[in-house]
């Protein structure tokens, strides 16, 4: 039923409304006269025969007529569920305009209001009450081609918290970018939502809510459910890539550590965020004229994303010549209780690796609650880099940013939290507070900021620069596992593509309309790293480039033949 990747001719036994009802087969008015004869489409379709270009123009006109981005998001979701070739043609041709609609920031509202707009099945809801049916659900032959899976349990959607079944919007959105940015065929992708309930009372009280109306399970019940899911995936899709997405910090790191050696898997919130932050930082450092080993990094947000960024950057500093202790000492993690440091409070888990010693902060100022806050960290640590993954709007306040700008010629500031409403600072404020000297990367898109007689471009430090290329690399060399070194390779490849390498006033990362080129370049370096580590099939560089190119699906209408 599903068309094969880049097939010249599509063969199908479906006809009439059954054919048109399949999003991957529907061509709408672009079915030719001969195809209308062969597949009994006369009368079902209007008589005018169009083409993909006409359809893209028509859909774009309608899209732009809506008053809100949520309406546009809903329209695009309907289009994806009706005609996927048209959806991806529209998305790829207008990626800069549409990326903020199909993903951050608009996908956040899409998850919050998911139940309002749910119309047609896409992906799988694996709910706790149906845990005994999981193998049967996954056994359906229509999933035989699946190679890339994105799964969420909806507990930590962007910076919006627990959205329950609405988290499916994240899985769908991420896989849309795998296709749009890396050309991975949509028939080989599968979004999954582990519906283990929700603690969001607003969702539970909403009569329209489509999820399991139950408080979120936890503890041994949750662990057993996830274990059953992983076992089913390993059995049904032994060669697939599984991406974990928007799990709560308490679960994200633990699940990754538990399963990364059993499956070809990664957590984008931890590893993808770390890689794009590292790649953007490497680009910014070149502009600032300093070296990686000189950086002093403050991370506001010490959860899975924060420690993931710290871990990858520490490894990069070690690769550049620092010892592990020297590298870790250059990081200052701040959570809801202030600076993470020994002697102030118990420090456990991953963040303990980056906790400052009691001696190092002995003379630092404590607030009334006994915490060391951002301003005093900036005063004493004199950071060159400030990264936010806290989900707390305004966390980068004026006093701290101005002090940083007094200490550093080119402060590097990345408010990475999504959606836009959760960004730690707005680029306009950062530009004003640093007299235009800050090198800025944001999680969501922001327009250029006027300063004096020029416009300062704002780099969108979005994971879409990383994970599509990683997925493409995995498929190209049939990687069995995904290592941290593969994400380091992705970050370095991204840094090499920085427009700022040739123009210090340019953006730190390529424009989003080049995301396909970025994904292919990232895929090549990640695949080579997998080969180096013995995690994927070996082949020469020329063959590797061809393998990657052969996987890139183009959304064009192909001729149909009835069987």
State pLDDT tens for residues 335-393: 999 999 998 888 988 889 999 999 999 999 888 888 999 999 999 999 999 999 999 99
Q: Is there a domain that residue 13 lies in? A: no
Q: Among 412, 438, 461, identify where a domain stops.
A: 461
Distance of alpha carbon 389 from the chain centroid: 14
Average pLDDT over residues 450-473: 95
Res 250: pLDDT:
85
222 contacts: CB under 8 Å, gap ≥ 6? 196, 251
Residue-wise pLDDT tens digits, 85-120: 999 999 999 999 999 999 999 999 999 999 999 999
Q: Is there a domain that residue 220 lies in? A: yes
| Cα–Cα distance, 132 to 149 (Å, whole number) | 21
Res 148: pLDDT:
98
Statement to judge: residues 453 and 536 lie in one domain? no
Statement to judge: residues 449 and 493 lie in one domain? no
Mean pLDDT of the residues in the chain: 95
Q: Is there a domain that residue 55 lies in? A: no
Q: Among 461, 481, 512, identify where a domain stops.
A: 461
pLDDT tops 50 at residue 5: no
Closest CA relative to residue 236, chosen from 214, 263, 213: 263
Average pLDDT over residues 145-172: 96
pLDDT tops 80 at residue 3: no
Statement to judge: residues 435 and 375 lie in one domain? yes
Neighbours of 446 (CB within 10 A): 18
| Cα–Cα distance, 206 to 167 (Å, whole number) | 16
Average pLDDT over residues 78-87: 98
| Cα–Cα distance, 16 to 18 (Å, whole number) | 5
414 contacts: CB under 8 Å, gap ≥ 6? 277, 280, 281, 385, 386, 387, 388, 440, 441, 442, 461
| Cα–Cα distance, 526 to 465 (Å, whole number) | 13
Give the β-pairing of 449-451 and 439-442.
unpaired
317 contacts: CB under 8 Å, gap ≥ 6? 292, 293, 295, 326, 327, 330
**Percentage of residues of the chain with pLDDT beyond 70:** 99
Q: Is 174 a catalytic residue?
A: yes
Q: Which residues of 52-83 are buried (b: 16+ CB within 10 A; e: fewer)?
A: beebbeebeeebeeeeeebebbbbbbebbebb
Q: Among 461, 481, 509, identify where a domain stops.
A: 461
Among the listed residues 73, 88, 103, 332, the single catalytic one is 103
DSSP 8-state symbol, 29: G
Range of the domain at 365: 271-461
7: confidence class by pLDDT, cuts 50, 70, 90: low
DSSP 8-state symbol, 42: B
Residue-wise pLDDT tens digits, 114-148: 999 999 999 999 999 999 999 999 999 999 999 99
Q: How many distinct structural domains can be found in the chain?
A: 3
Statement to judge: residues 253 and 289 lie in one domain? no
Q: Count CA atoms within 13 Å of residue 30 on its CB side.
A: 18
Cβ atoms of residues 184 and 148 within 8 Å: yes
Residue-wise pLDDT tens digits, 54-68: 999 999 999 999 999
Statement to judge: residues 246 and 136 lie in one domain? yes
Binding residues: 156, 245-246, 269, 418, 462
**Cα angle for residues 144, 151, 278 (degrees, 5° grid):** 115
**Burial (CB count within 10 angstroms: exposed 0-12, middle 13-18, buried 19+), residue 357:** exposed
Statement to judge: residues 510 and 438 lie in one domain? no
Binding residues for a divalent metal cation: 245-246, 269
Statement to judge: residues 424 and 527 lie in one domain? no
| Cα–Cα distance, 384 to 285 (Å, whole number) | 10
Res 249: pLDDT:
84
Q: Is 337 a catalytic residue?
A: no
Residue-wise pLDDT tens digits, 415-436: 999 888 899 999 999 999 999 9
pLDDT tops 60 at residue 2: no
Global pTM value: 0.94
Cis amide prior to 105 (ω within 30 degrees): yes
Binding residues for (S)-malate: 156, 418, 462
Residue-wise pLDDT tens digits, 486-538: 999 999 999 999 999 999 889 999 999 999 999 999 999 999 999 999 999 99
Give the β-pairing of 189-195 and 10-12.
unpaired
Res 512: pLDDT:
94
Statement to judge: residues 290 and 205 lie in one domain? no
| Number of residues written out for the chain | 563
Distance of alpha carbon 524 from the chain centroid: 19
Cβ atoms of residues 5 and 552 within 8 Å: no
Q: Is there a domain that residue 29 lies in? A: no
Residue-wise pLDDT tens digits, 287-323: 999 999 999 999 999 998 999 999 999 999 999 999 9
Among the listed residues 27, 73, 88, 174, the single catalytic one is 174
Token pair for 560: 């149909």
Res 430: pLDDT:
98
Residue-wise pLDDT tens digits, 210-253: 999 999 999 999 999 999 999 999 999 999 999 999 999 889 99
Res 426: pLDDT:
97
């Amino acid at each position: 039923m599903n068309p094969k990747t880049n097939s010249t001719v599509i063969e199908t036994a479906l006809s009439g409304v059954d054919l048109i009802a399949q999003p991957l087969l529907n061509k709408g008015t672009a079915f030719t006269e001969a195809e209308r004869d062969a597949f009994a489409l006369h009368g079902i379709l209007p008589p005018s025969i169009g083409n993909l270009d006409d359809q893209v123009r028509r859909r774009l006109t309608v899209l732009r007529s809506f008053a809100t981005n949520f309406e546009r998001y809903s329209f695009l979701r309907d289009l994806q569920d009706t005609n996927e070739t048209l959806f991806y043609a529209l998305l790829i041709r207008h990626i800069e305009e549409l990326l903020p609609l199909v993903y951050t920031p608009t996908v956040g509202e899409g998850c919050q209001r998911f139940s309002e707009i749910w119309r047609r099945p896409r992906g799988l809801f694996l709910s706790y009450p149906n845990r005994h049916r999981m193998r049967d659900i996954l056994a359906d032959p229509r999933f035989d081609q699946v190679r890339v899976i994105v799964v969420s349990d909806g507990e930590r959607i962007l910076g919006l918290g627990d959205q329950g079944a609405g988290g499916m919007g994240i899985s769908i959105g991420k896989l849309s970018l795998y296709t749009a940015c890396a050309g991975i065929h949509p028939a080989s992708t599968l979004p999954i939502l582990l519906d283990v309930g929700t603690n969001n009372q607003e969702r539970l009280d909403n009569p329209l809510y489509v999820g399991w109306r139950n408080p979120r399970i936890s503890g041994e019940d949750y662990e057993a459910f996830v274990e059953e899911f992983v076992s089913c995936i390993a059995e049904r899709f032994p060669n697939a890539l599984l991406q974990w997405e928007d799990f709560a910090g308490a679960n994200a790191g633990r699940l990754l550590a538990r399963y990364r050696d059993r499956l070809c898997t990664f957590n984008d919130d931890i590893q993808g965020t770390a890689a794009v932050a590292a790649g953007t930082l490497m680009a910014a450092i070149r502009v600032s004229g300093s070296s990686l080993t000189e950086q002093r990094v403050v991370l506001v947000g010490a959860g899975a994303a924060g420690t993931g960024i710290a871990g990858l950057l520490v490894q990069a500093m070690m690769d550049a010549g620092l010892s592990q202790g020297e590298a870790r000492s250059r990081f200052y993690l701040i959570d809801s209780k202030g600076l993470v440091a020994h002697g102030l409070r118990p420090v456990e888990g991953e963040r303990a690796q980056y906790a400052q010693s009691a001696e190092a902060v002995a003379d630092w100022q404590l607030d009334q609650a006994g915490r060391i806050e951002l301003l005093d960290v900036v005063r004493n640590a004199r950071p060159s880099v400030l990264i936010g993954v806290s989900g707390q709007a305004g966390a980068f306040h004026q006093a701290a940013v101005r002090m940083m700008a007094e200490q550093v010629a080119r402060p590097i500031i990345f408010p990475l939290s999504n959606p836009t409403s959760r960004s730690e600072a707005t680029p306009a404020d950062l530009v004003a507070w640093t007299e235009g000297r800050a090198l800025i990367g944001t999680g969501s898109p922001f327009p250029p900021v006027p300063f004096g007689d020029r416009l300062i471009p704002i780099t969108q430090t979005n994971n879409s620069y990383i994970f599509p290329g990683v997925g493409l690399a995995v498929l190209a060399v049939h990687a069995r596992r995904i290592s941290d070194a593969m994400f380091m390779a992705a970050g370095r490849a991204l840094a090499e593509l920085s427009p700022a390498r040739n123009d210090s006033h340019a953006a730190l990362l390529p424009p989003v309309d080049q995301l396909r080129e970025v994904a292919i370049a990232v895929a090549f370096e990640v695949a080579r790293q997998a080969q180096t580590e013995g995690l994927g099939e070996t082949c020469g560089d020329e063959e590797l480039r061809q393998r990657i190119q052969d996987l890139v699906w183009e959304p064009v209408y192909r001729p149909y033949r009835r069987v």
